[in-house]
Structure 1
Amino acid sequence: MEVIEVLHMNGGIGDASYANNSLVQQKVLSITEPITKEAIIDLYCSTFPKSLSIADLGCSSGPNTLLVVSELIKAVDKLCRKMGNHSPEFQIFLNDLPGNDFNTIFRSLPRFQGKLTEQMGSGYGPCFFSGVPGSFYGN
């Protein structure tokens, strides 16, 4: 049996779901946040792209899925406003195994984008999301 067939998370939002049992992963994300923010700010400052792509390899589903994406978008937008630049377009690629609960992720996007607009105003670049099922460990 292949790893892709064995490893999976519990979808949905029930008691046994990954969404309700991912606090350790959230802690790791918060520890690595300064490193990822610095990397995206360095990338933006060296290229000033009109479009910026973010790939989350192993995104899963639940509260952590869009946590990193939102922090990266906010960091770039804050820098753009400080520099007097327009925010770039954001292309977000969410990747995980085919059994991932992509439906829950996509249902949460209107709320996610509404929250970003509430926090940052309407000036941040448009965000386009893609769900890309498959393992990045393979070919």
Structure 2
Amino acid sequence: MTAKDDGFWLYDLRIETVLDGRTPVCRHVEGEFFRMLGENLVFEAGQKVSAYALAAILPLLPAKQRMTDANDWMSTDAEIACPDPHCGGRFRIVREGKRRFCHAETTGLPESRTTPYWKDSTA
């Protein structure tokens, strides 16, 4: 099996702050966002997110990146509440494009790995 035969797909994600008329307690600004591209969180210049809110969102992002059954709640439910029970902030996770990765370029297993995808000059 070649390195290109051991591929898998992950969704790129956009995580956007939404208030929909609710009052935030924490610093949540409607429309601010960041993206998850592969394993990386990408912030546009000036965009911010609360570390406490991020801690609540992070565990869900790898599952949201993967393809799931259309009836799985991970496919249909898109908003995560701020962990402060008094805060109206929400974070909408939107699946955007898909990106293909290669197991041999992303694994830490010595017998299975090749050049990491982020060091591959041909990618």
Q: TM-score, normalising length from structure 2? A: 0.30
Pair member with larger Rg: 2
TM-score (norm 1): 0.28
The answer to which structure has the higher helix fraction is: 1
